[in-house]
Each structure stands twice: as structure tokens, then as C-alpha cells.
């Protein structure tokens, strides 16, 4: 069972990266980005194509983040005119715009790059701990994801741009009064979200194969993390991501993947309904 938990922690940290990216965009721009999972797929498909062309994975992985960043810029360009609207109108129209973009991207990727499955083999064998064979790929992915999240924490607490992002996240109107360019911070939030999404997808490929049709599933998982974490809480997203990853891994081992995801969706729905009633 230890090996299952370790795999779950690895998956959970990757979900945490996805959830944090979605949370940051929602907190700063007020929109739940339903094309988030397609950003992940854009990076994994690009990495698959680059590796297939002969490029070394160490070079292909960073280069594969660029398509996700470009998509984030496109998404922000489409959503930018909505920023002058009220919170409810911006949120509703943002869902429509990002859903339309997600469907368009899903159609293009699955039709044009249907065979571009991404997986990265870690050239290190399993480690035996307490009689359990622990996958080196899970340990490495966990370490990298934890390093990324720790670096993000240092960025938002120790740099001027990060502090400005955090101020905008907490109170955009007050941030404007402090002479912070809120529009620029929203733009930066989308780029940061894309880097986290693309990075999570590349790490996910070290422990599983990511196919071009995975965008919707990854978006749903990101939303579950956000809901369980509190929608506007970055720390909550990290905690929810790890908890969700471990729970999903253990339940999948015990009762199967499909039933596990169904139960997790029900828990997320109950959590959202509870928050709505409290609000």
C-alpha cells in the first residue's frame, strides 16, 4: 500500500500545480478557465512531437511550455474585454468563452494529433523500501513538483512582481490604489497559470501516458481541486490537490478508477453545494 500512497502523493502534487494555476486566474481575473486542461495537452502534445523529431527530452520539455503560454495569451486576449463588466456577468461570459475555446482546441488536437501520446521514461529503476517497490518516476516527479510549488511561494512572497500579484489576488481595487497595474497582473496570472499547467502535464507524463483527449478530464480534476480547496485559496488548492491525489490512488487501487472518479465528483459537488448554502 505504501507504493500506492507514494504514487498518490506524486499525482496529488501535479494536481496541486493544476489547481493553483486555475485558482490564481480565478482570483485575479474572476473567471474559471474551462480550457485549462487543453493548455496541459498543448504542452504534452508538443513534447511528444519534439521528442519524436529527435530532440532530447531535456530540451523538448521546456520548449513544450511555449504553446501553453501562447494559448494563455490568446485566452486573456479573448477575456480582456470582459474585465469592465460586473462580477456575475464576467464570470458567466468567461465560462462561455473558455468553454468554446476548450471545445475548439479539443477538436483540433484530437483530429490533427491523435497519435501524439506523451510519456517520459525515467532511466532509473524502482527503489525497494520496506519491501515495497517504489517507482523512481513518482519520487522524481514528486520532488520536482514540490520544488516548483516552493519556488512559487518564494516568488509571490519575495519578489516585487509576486507581491503585486498577491496584492491583486487579495483585493484588485486596493491594489489599484497602491499604483499596481492590475491589467498587467492579470496578464501575468494567465502566463503563470499556463506554466504551471504545462509543467504539471510534463510531470504527469513521467508516471502515466497523457493522450490528446485528456484535456477535459484534466480540467475537471483542476476544478475539483479548486472547489475542495476553496476556489480562491492557493494553500487550499495545494492541500486539496495532494489529498485528492492520494484518495484517488487508494480508491482506484481498491475499487477501480471509474468508480473512484465518480465518488470524488460527488464529494466535490457536495462541497460546492455546501459552500453555496453558506454563502
What percentage of residues in the chain have a pLDDT greater than 70?
A: 91
Number of C-beta neighbours around residue 277 at 10 A = 7
pLDDT value at residue 279: 47
Residue 273: pLDDT over 70: no
For residue 14, what pLDDT band results from cuts at 50, 70 and 90?
very high
Q: What domains can be seen in the chain, in order of their start residue?
A: 2-278 (1.10.3470)
Residue 243: pLDDT over 70: yes
Span 136-155, pLDDT tens digits: 888 889 999 999 999 999 99
pLDDT value at residue 129: 67
For residue 264, what pLDDT band results from cuts at 50, 70 and 90?
confident
Span 25-76, pLDDT tens digits: 998 988 899 999 999 999 999 999 999 999 988 899 899 999 999 999 999 9
pLDDT value at residue 278: 45
Residue 133: pLDDT over 90: no
Predicted TM-score (pTM) of the model is 0.89
pLDDT value at residue 213: 93
Span 67-118, pLDDT tens digits: 999 999 999 999 999 888 887 888 889 999 999 999 999 999 999 999 999 9
Amino acid at each position: 500500500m505504501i507504493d500506492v500512497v507514494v504514487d498518490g502523493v506524486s499525482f496529488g502534487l501535479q494536481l496541486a500545480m493544476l489547481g493553483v494555476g486555475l485558482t490564481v486566474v480565478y482570483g485575479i481575473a474572476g473567471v474559471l478557465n474551462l480550457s485549462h486542461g487543453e493548455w496541459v495537452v498543448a504542452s504534452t502534445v508538443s513534447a511528444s512531437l519534439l521528442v519524436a523529431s529527435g530532440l532530447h527530452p531535456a530540451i523538448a520539455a521546456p520548449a513544450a511550455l511555449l504553446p501553453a503560454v501562447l494559448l494563455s495569451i490568446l485566452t486573456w486576449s479573448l477575456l480582456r474585454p470582459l474585465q469592465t463588466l460586473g462580477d456575475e456577468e464576467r464570470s458567466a461570459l468567461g465560462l462561455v468563452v473558455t468553454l468554446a475555446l476548450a471545445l475548439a482546441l479539443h477538436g483540433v488536437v484530437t483530429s490533427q494529433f491523435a497519435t501524439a501520446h506523451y510519456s517520459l521514461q525515467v532511466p532509473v529503476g524502482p527503489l525497494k523500501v520496506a519491501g515495497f517497490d517504489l517507482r523512481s518516476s513518482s519520487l522524481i516527479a514528486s520532488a520536482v513538483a514540490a520544488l516548483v510549488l516552493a519556488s512559487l511561494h518564494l516568488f509571490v512572497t519575495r519578489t516585487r512582481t509576486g507581491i503585486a500579484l498577491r496584492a491583486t489576488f487579495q483585493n484588485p481595487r486596493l491594489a489599484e490604489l497602491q499604483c499596481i497595474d492590475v491589467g498587467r497582473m492579470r496578464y501575468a496570472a494567465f502566463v503563470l497559470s499556463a506554466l504551471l499547467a504545462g509543467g504539471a502535464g510534463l510531470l504527469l507524463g513521467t508516471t502515466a501516458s497523457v493522450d490528446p483527449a485528456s484535456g477535459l478530464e484534466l480540467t475537471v480534476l483542476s476544478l475539483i481541486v479548486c472547489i475542495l480547496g476553496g476556489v480562491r485559496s492557493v494553500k487550499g488548492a495545494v492541500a486539496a490537490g495532494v489529498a485528492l491525489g492520494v484518495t484517488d490512488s487508494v480508491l482506484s487501487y481498491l475499487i477501480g478508477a471509474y468508480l473512484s472518479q465518480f465518488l470524488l465528483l460527488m464529494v466535490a459537488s457536495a462541497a460546492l453545494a455546501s459552500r453555496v448554502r453558506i454563502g
